[in-house]
């Protein structure tokens, strides 16, 4: 499969009478966008805001972040199974409004939602303080259940991202990235002397608002599967969960998975990148054993010499992470784990809920329990009152002046386990 990503660099966002891209600015017809969202009868109200880098703006509680994209050529469309029909995606040409994002907020759905500050110390911990954000502040109709509420705002965000992405369909991209990968046999034969690497992509799927969707199917209903890495770039995987904001993979993260991009970058140079195995994160021991056995088996069948495994979430999924590691290593597959830590506010507690001597190559994305002080902002989009109840907040987090004392856990993307964050480790 060969996919071209045409990157259209968005440097500013503004309201306008027509939704369009012109000279690096995304103009948004806010009435038209709000009307699109309100086509869903379960959404009572929708206000469209803009939040730009450097502004004194706080968005809370953040539900999802989505990058606007549109399909220019090739089969299928963006977000198959939701906005587009269920065709296999990942080939042809897709245009990306790089530097823009849709952010969804409004009445809280689940306590594990987040914060994006566009300036100040909190902005240093989230990549979305650097994007030009179109924020949808939505409230559901009275009496709507939590699952229906999450579904409504999830679909609204996806529809908005496609609506904005279409504005770039006929715009000449600033740059084009090309991703081309053939069959496993062709790929392995092309680089016989390079170590063969498989990426094991763990998807949050514990239920109770902890879900991820693959071609419109809840990942907890599937067995581990092989997916072409290009499919991610067209939205085959969509976030639908309310796990802690710091290590949640938003839809933006799935669209821009940095592990996949780095594996492509090194492919043919010092590794042979075979492909991606997606696997779920389960609740019961039986399901954990089944999925970890199946995922490691697929890696072995593909002929992997090494594997990279990324987690989503913490606590219960740590067991899935370690099971994946143990079973891959038992096949002789050298394994690297990507995770974050919940090591207590002083960093002295055990970082993961499970451990193994075979987990001897681990990359940490940071300690989510670290305390941070967030100053008040001139503008709050959403509802600041939930700061005391979202994960990482606590009774007394919010001061009278609007400043917050919270854990990094509340900041969207702060310790993202794909490495899509601003925290960095330095080796000596």
Task: Identify which of 94, 78, 51 has the alpha carbon closest to the alpha carbon of residue 157.
Answer: 78
Which of 23-32, 237-246, 389-398 has the largest mean confidence? 23-32
- State the average pLDDT over residues 13-42: 98
Give the domain range for residue 379: 2-410
232 in any annotated domain: yes
pLDDT tens, 136-184? 999 999 999 999 999 999 999 999 999 999 999 999 999 999 999 999 9
Task: Identify which of 203, 223, 200 has the alpha carbon closest to the alpha carbon of residue 212.
Answer: 203
| The pLDDT of residue 428 | 41
Under a CB-based contact definition with an 8 Å cutoff, are residues 265 and 359 in contact? no
Is the pLDDT confidence value at 427 over 90?
Answer: no
- Residue tagged active-site, from 46, 70, 242, 325: 242
pLDDT tens, 346-385? 999 999 999 999 999 999 999 999 999 999 999 999 999 9
325 is catalytic: no
426 in any annotated domain: no
How far is C-alpha 39 from the geometric centre of its chain's CA atoms?
26
pLDDT tens, 183-238? 999 999 999 999 999 999 999 999 878 899 999 999 999 999 999 999 999 999 99
Under a CB-based contact definition with an 8 Å cutoff, are residues 15 and 27 in contact? yes
Is the pLDDT confidence value at 398 over 70?
Answer: yes
113 in any annotated domain: yes
156 in any annotated domain: yes
Domain count across the chain = 1
428 in any annotated domain: no
pLDDT tens, 81-115? 999 999 999 999 999 999 999 999 999 888 789 99
Q: What DSSP letter does each residue of 34-98 carry, written as one string?
A: HHHHTTSTTEEEEEEEEE-TTSSEEEEEE-EEE--EEEEESSS-SSBTTTB-S---S-EEEEEEE
Phi-psi region of 420 (alpha: psi -120 to 50; beta: other; left: phi over 0): beta
Task: Identify which of 339, 349, 158 has the alpha carbon closest to the alpha carbon of residue 259.
Answer: 339
Task: Identify which of 219, 255, 223, 249 has the alpha carbon closest to the alpha carbon of residue 236.
Answer: 255
| The pLDDT of residue 242 | 75
| The pLDDT of residue 424 | 65
- State the average pLDDT over residues 335-346: 95
pLDDT tens, 239-257? 987 778 999 999 999 999 9
152 in any annotated domain: yes
| The pLDDT of residue 208 | 77
pTM: 0.96
pLDDT tens, 303-323? 999 999 999 999 999 999 999
424 in any annotated domain: no
pLDDT tens, 42-73? 999 999 999 999 999 999 999 999 999 999 99
420 in any annotated domain: no
């Amino acid at each position: 499969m060969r996919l071209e990503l045409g990157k259209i660099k968005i440097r500013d966002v503004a309201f306008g009478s027509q939704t369009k891209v012109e000279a690096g600015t995304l103009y948004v017809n806010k009435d038209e966008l709000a009307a699109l969202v309100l086509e869903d009868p379960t959404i009572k109200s929708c206000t469209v805001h803009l939040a730009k880098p450097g502004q004194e703006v706080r968005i809370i509680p953040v539900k999802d972040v989505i990058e606007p994209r549109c399909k220019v050529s090739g089969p299928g469309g963006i977000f198959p199974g939701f906005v587009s029909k269920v065709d296999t995606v990942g080939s042809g040409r897709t245009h990306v409004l790089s530097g823009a994002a849709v952010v969804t907020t409004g009445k809280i759905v689940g306590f594990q939602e987040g914060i994006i500050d566009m300036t100040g110390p909190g902005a240093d911990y989230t990549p979305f303080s650097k994007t030009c954000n179109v924020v949808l502040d939505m409230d559901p109709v009275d009496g709507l259940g939590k699952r229906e509420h999450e579904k409504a705002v999830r679909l609204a965000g996806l529809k908005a991202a496609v609506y904005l992405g279409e504005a770039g369909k006929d715009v000449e991209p600033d740059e084009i990235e090309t991703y081309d990968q053939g069959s496993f046999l062709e790929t392995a034969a092309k680089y016989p002397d390079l170590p063969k690497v498989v990426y094991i992509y763990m998807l949050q799927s514990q239920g109770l608002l902890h879900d991820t969707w693959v071609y419109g199917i809840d990942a907890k209903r599937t067995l581990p599967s092989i997916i072409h890495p290009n499919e991610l770039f067209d939205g085959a995987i969509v976030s639908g969960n309310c796990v802690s904001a710091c290590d949640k993979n938003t839809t933006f993260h799935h669209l821009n998975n940095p592990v996949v991009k780095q594996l492509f970058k090194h492919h043919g140079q010092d590794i042979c990148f075979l492909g991606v195995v997606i696997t779920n994160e389960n609740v019961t021991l039986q399901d954990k054993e089944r999925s970890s056995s199946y995922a490691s088996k697929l890696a072995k069948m593909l002929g992997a010499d090494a594997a990279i495994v990324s987690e989503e979430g913490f606590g219960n999924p740590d067991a899935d992470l370690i099971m994946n590691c143990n079973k891959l290593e038992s096949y002789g597959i050298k394994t690297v784990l990507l995770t974050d830590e919940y090591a207590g506010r002083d960093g002295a507690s055990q970082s993961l809920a499970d451990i193994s001597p075979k987990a001897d190559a681990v990359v940490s994305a940071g300690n989510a329990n670290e305390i941070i002080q967030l100053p008040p902002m001139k503008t709050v989009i959403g509802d600041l009152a939930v700061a005391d109840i979202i994960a990482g907040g606590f009774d007394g987090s919010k001061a009278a002046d609007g400043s917050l004392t919270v854990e990094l856990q509340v900041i969207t993307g702060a310790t993202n386990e794909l490495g899509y964050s601003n925290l960095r480790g330095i080796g000596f």
